[in-house]
Amino acid sequence: MIVFAPRYDPATEGNLAVALRILPEGCRALLSEEATRAGLLESLTAAGAPLLCMSHGRPDQLLGQHGETALSGMDAPVLGQRPVFAFACHTASELGEIASREGTFWWGDTGRVTAPDSTEAVLPLFVEIFAYIRDAFPGADSAASCGDVLTRISELCHEAEVRVDDLLDTGTTLDVGSIYLCLLQLWQRLRVWLPGGMEPLLHPEAPPPALLI
């Protein structure tokens, strides 16, 4: 597996905090200053290796360190037939569709998504969710199995919301707005483009696409 997570602003700080705690053994880790376009393209020469990204994005781009373009639609042939999970704003809008034409299983977001909170009290909640994602998305190779993963992600997010409520009951001070928003967007804005698909898959209770916000 390739894990890609830059670090250059508060949002990518939160992403990296999670990524560091879910690195699988033997993975190719492109983190912080190493999360560059050159490093990613070199790593993608490993045919079929799943790619897990936690970064910023645009409709047609995945961004790397300091906001550089790490992947664009022109790179879709390099991705080929591999599973990609891009926790990055907007990356399901155009980039995911383009990649799916080359045989990529693309998991991305429609609209903006809020980064995980990296405070000590709640970081384990996000680590648990993304550890599940790390293990589950590479093997989801059909509409049915992708649907099962989408369902489980939403369940984990709901379970985490309850645990946040419990923390608040103990008097723990939290930025609850951003925490709840991240947990909500994690499943509501997640889209899956299957190879050759005409429309992305989404959770049955997810709202309509959020392309601009």
Whether the full predicted model's pTM is greater than 0.85, yes or no, is yes
| Domain limits for position 73 | 2-193
64-83 per-position pLDDT tens digit: 999 999 999 999 999 999 99
- Is 213 within a domain? no
CATH of the domain at 40: 3.40.50
- Is 201 within a domain? no
- Is 200 within a domain? no
How many domains, in total, are found in the chain? Answer: 1
- Is 206 within a domain? no
- Is 99 within a domain? yes
14-53 per-position pLDDT tens digit: 999 999 999 999 999 999 999 999 999 999 998 889 999 9
Q: What is the DSSP track for 99-165? A: HHTTT-EEEEESS--PPPP-STTTHHHHHHHHHHHHHHGGG--SHHHHHHHHHHHHHHHHHHHHHHH
The token pair at 122 is 């709640």
139-195 per-position pLDDT tens digit: 999 999 999 999 999 999 999 999 999 998 888 888 899 999 999 999 999 999 999
Q: What are phi and psi of 8, to 5 degrees?
A: -155, 5
- Is 50 within a domain? yes
Q: Residue 77: how many CB atoms within 10 A of its CB?
A: 11
C-alpha atoms less than 13 angstroms from C-alpha of 58 in its C-beta half-sphere: 11
Q: How far is CA 152 from the centre of its chain?
A: 15
